[in-house]
Structure 1
Amino acid sequence: MQRLRSFLKNLSIQRKISIAILVTCCTALATASAAIFFTQLLTFRQSFTRDLRATGQMLGDNTTASITFKDNQGAEKILGAVRAKPFIIRASLDLPDTSEFAAFPSTPLSTLPQMPPEDGIHFQGGYLALNQAVVLAGERIATLRLLCDYQTEYAHSLRLYSAILIVVLLISVLLALALSSRLQRRISAPILQLARTAQSIAEKKDYSLRAPKLSEDEVGRLSEAFNEMLSKIQTDDQSLRDANLSLEREIEERKRTQEKIEQLHKELMLTSRLAGMAEVATGVLHNVGNVLNSVNVSAGVLGERLSHSCSSSLAKLCVLLDSHRADLGSFLTNDPKGRRVPEFLSQLSVALEEERAHIASETQSLVKNIEHIKEIVAMQQNYAKVAGVIEDLPPASLIDDAMRLNSGAFIRHGVQVQREFPEVPLVRVDKHKVLQILVNLFRNAKYAMDATGRPDKVLTLGLERNGNGRIKVVVRDNGIGIPPENLTRIFSHGFTTRTDGHGFGLHTGALAAKEMGGSLQAFSEGPGTGATFILELPIASPPEQESSAP
């Protein structure tokens, strides 16, 4: 069935129309012929029995005289008229005493079935028997019995009807084929012309061609609509060609613009990186400056101590003793000043010991401050050396490093830092970029809290897992907050709310987080409610290993 559908689907329109007409006609003729055929078969039995009864009635009427006058030969001649009906194989007349009065043929056939005694029509196998009373003046004088070969007659009629039906169908098919050939040409000619026009347009790409309108029927309207479509396509094609040329020029212009944008982006990234490095350097300088203040204080204290040192009193004592070198014993025992020398030496030793301890303490403080400066500079140099290198690092140490670069500013502005650092996996990042992001976030938080004027400035730093292969670094302040309309703008390049801001920090931080496979987000419930920034960084191990870890 599928092959037949495929075969019919790929036929030409001419063959399809011819087949449709032929199948329709043949189906109608076959249906009508079959109806007539089966009607004849169904009425054959009725017509056969009716004909047999009429024959029996005629024979019965004609044999009454022969029966009355006991004329056997005359009765047999009358019964011999059944020769005109070959299907009647025997006719006989039986008297009321059941004796046979006359028969045709006169010799009974041994192969015939036994006739039933009752009157009427009787079917016996392939035979039909008729028992009919012969009546004269209301009295039954004999019984006419006719035996017919019903099966043979039925088969003969069936063959006759079949032959007629086949002949009629053949003639009808030939006539339908001839008519369909002429009709399909009239129907398919406009369609084929339309198809040839469409194929020519497809091959030549010439939309100026038009299909001829050969009629006013649906095909004619189709041709008219096809021509209108061609006109529109021709107009649209020309417009498309013009637009294509314009688009090509625009694409070239956009390519040049894109190249300029990429160049500007590279310059912007370089500027942003330098700005980030400047912020880090600023933090370093702030911390170094704070430590240098301590160094300066310690140096001042040492200078003041040295300028007021008790060592000058010791020098004066040496001069005094040297002046009494000749009578030193008498001077120490008899002279009032000499007797006070031992007490003075005791007091001087105590004072010199206190002075030495104080100078040692200030010297140790000075050394520590100088070491602190060296650590700050070394940390900055270390970050500068590894810029662009991806490493697996503990996020808590990254936060602590950024805090050390801002610790002086936090102390100076009275910012209290709270840490919430649970155990979390290592993160895979460029620590120089993370340092720039965190330093910028800490500085922004400090400015936001300064703007409130509140004394309880609290910066909360936390670490969390987000369950998606990332670690959250949470930076939360109780500063002035962020208006809702600015939450979607603060990461835009050049956007800032500070008069001395440049708008690079958050934009660069968001780009840097994205480059590392993370993200930077901001949250705030509005002005006066503080702000929370969440820096998400990728976990060093794959998520599958992370989830399977106990």
Structure 2
Amino acid sequence: MDFRDLPIKRKLAGAIMLTSLTVLALTSLALITYELYAYKQTTRRTLSTIADIIASNSTAVLIYDDHKLASQILAGLHDEPEIEAAALYDKDGQLYVSYPLSLGPTGVPATPGVDGIDFGLRQITLFEPVIEGQNRVGTLYLRGDLADMYRRLGVYGLVLLSVLGCSGLVALSLAAYFQRLISQPILNLANTARIVSERKDYSVRAVKLSNDELGGFTETFNSMLHQVQESHSALRESEERLSAVFQQAGAGIAQTDVSGRFLMVNDRYCEIVGRPRESLLQLRMQDIIHPADLSHHQFLSEHSARDGSSFVVETRYDRPQGGFVWVRNSVAFIRDAAGTIESAIAVTEDITSSKRTEKELERARDDALAASRAKDDFLATLSHELRTPLNPVLLLASEAAEDPTLPPAVRSDFATIRNNVELEARLIDDLLDLTRITRGKLLLDLKPHDMHAILQDALATVRAELERKQIVTTLKFDAGRAVVLSDAVRLQQVFWNVLKNAVKFTPEQGGITVHTHLAVGDSLVVEITDTGIGLEPAEIERIFDAFSQGDHAGTAGSHRFGGVGLGLAISRMLVELHRGSIRAESPGRGHGATFRIELPLLRRDVAAPRMPAADGPPARAAAAAGSAVPETMRRRILLVEDHAPTRTTLQQLLMRRRYEVLAAGTVAEARAIAAKESFDFVISDIGLPDGNAYELMSDLRAEKGLTGIALTGYGMESDIARSHAAGFVVHLTKPLRVQSLDEALARISGATPA
């Protein structure tokens, strides 16, 4: 087993033993080395001393060649047991004598070697010169035995081994003791960590055995366990709360991996999708999404996963028992520490009832739109059907009322007919205007207009009634500026409604005052005051309500002054569309009334327009002049009208004005006539039995370059816009006075070359 893998107890014991034995071994080696060195030095000195003595005593022997004495000198080495052999060589290097004699000449070198001492493995040799004066007379050879050195080294070795053994035992005892002091706290920490890891019990604590670094480490370890225990407890509580919220949440919650497989779902999610939890955890989200919605859901998932953004999608889940449930999924992605998406969380809301309500609302909206279209169609048809019968009556009555060849009494009768027909047409217009305004379909043609000029025009429309009742009219135009961004026709309608009421409720020889002045805030104020029957406070509160009339109307259907109570209601709506206001004031019954109309003035940096003069005799003269067509300039007219009385009346009136007229009652008849004849322009009703005049006019304009006059009971803004787009220059709404027809003829005659 690798040392690193040994238990810490054995590591500590082994480390202590190894350290101790290594130190002892190194010490013993040092001692033996020193002993060997000392022995060599001693042996060197001993041999050198003996050699010096023998060499000194052998000088004469060698000089005088005395073998016997030489042998006796060397025999003296018998007392030196460490000398194993010796020899003398003459000056020529020949062996002279050797010791011991039993050794023989082969026991020593035949010739002397190099001077000096040489330590061998088992012996030591010495060659020393024998000197007499300055001359070398021979060489001494000594050889010592090193067995004694090895004996001494053996003894030392045994002693050291004994010391090592005893030291090892002592070191082992000390290692066991110290490893317990050192390793026990570590082992306690390891055992505590193992228990915590296995049991997940963070309340376990390690026992502190000392106050050294290991004791401090134990305290730190226990403190860490305490923090982990608190964090674990808080985490467990948080998980319990989260689990409770997760399971009891009102919305369905599901977690899936990156492949869409369910990892976790709450009870509400199972309830929404109609599947048990065990079944869902075996499926992927793709498995329960309605096939028609799957591609869209996958596209959103893949697109959002690329940048990690969340998304919301409405989709359908198939239920195993059949059918599906509509849900709104709010999906967010969860990333790991490396930033890689590892799962997704879907918060699911059942929106089936909302979808059902949405469908019902869509159906209700479609029904309402259909009803609105039906109402529009009904109003248009009603307007057309109510206006059409009045048209020939008003045409004939308005022409006869102005015919100077007729007796005054007859003209007066025709004027009465004309006025009542116009009143009936006005009532129809009021009903349509009220409907268009309340439904937001009334479009205003806003341009700068001088309100003084419009007031003059409105007064001109009631002048005949003023003169008949001998009512005194006072004009006080004190406003220095009177230009308002407005629809002139609609504001004239407002002023006419107020003036008409003033005339209606003012007795003969009464008075009406029209006063204009500027108010704070850069507004124009128009006050119309009469000396009529006045208003009670209760009447003032409801006077601008639709179909509301004053107390003068009485009961049981009494209508002393006539009307249905729409004029002022429409007037208020029109004024408010101009960002203005209108209100009524009266001191009481019998003291007259004042109507105050306030309108925002145009900015000073916008120039006031030049207003054309009101239609008076000059304008009517121009219209009359336009209607008198010279014989050489007679125009050909294609008249298309399905209402026979109106067609006959128009044909007669046009022929009196020296127009050549060919009439048709249907689109097919008109196309047949137009294919054979040439015309200068067309006068046509819009609603025809076999089609409409829009297509007819558009085709005639494209094929023959014709323009025309639309003469119809359809008077909505959309009808007028559509007729202009088809090629009609003028759009006249039935019933119409002959004067309006003359003006239209004059206009189209000027627009088409003769």
Q: Establish whether TM, by shorter chain, passes 0.5.
A: no
- Structure having the higher helix fraction is 1
Q: Tell me the TM-score range normalised by the shorter chain.
A: 0.3 to 0.5
TM-score by length of structure 2 reads: 0.33
- Structure having the higher strand fraction is 2
TM-score by length of structure 1 reads: 0.43
Q: Which has the higher contact order (CA 8 A, sep 6+)?
A: 1
